[in-house]
Amino acid sequence: MKKILVAYDGGDAAHRALDMAVDLAQRFGATIGVVSVIPVHAGRVPVDPWDDRAVHTSELAEAARLLRQKGIEPVMHEPAGDPAATIERIAEEGGYDMVVVGSRGLGLLSRALQGSVSEHVATHSKATVLIAR
């Protein structure tokens, strides 16, 4: 394992994912990339005004600060698109061996309505996927 990609949105699950990635990177001498995807939806308002580029830029800055405190210089990714598919694409294009994502613990109805990014990435990514709970 040489390259780890962490999906980060600033939430509790993302913090757990970041901590797990740090532990693995330190054990195996791997590098860390962090991705925060600006979700784009079909329709008249493709970007949620409460989940725009400024929000994701702030999340990435937080992740970079936390990683640098641990002595890790991360590679940052801030794409827009469908979150799950975009994480999978970044992992493949960037040659990441592992993707670490947090699980928000959605119930059955929420997963059915919103979809689970972690579940989709775990079942579709070509890289090994670790879900932090």
Tell me the CATH class for 3-132. alpha beta
pLDDT tens per residue, range 54-74: 888 999 999 999 999 999 999
In the prediction, which pLDDT does 114 show? 41
The domain segmentation of the chain, as residue ranges, is 3-132
Across the chain, which has 133 residues, the per-10-residue mean pLDDT values are 94 93 97 92 56 82 96 95 93 97 58 63 93 87
pTM of the predicted protein model: 0.86
In the prediction, which pLDDT does 53 show? 78
Is the Cα dihedral 106, 107, 108, 114 positive or negative?
A: negative
In the prediction, which pLDDT does 108 show? 43
CA angle 111, 42, 62 (to 5 degrees): 65
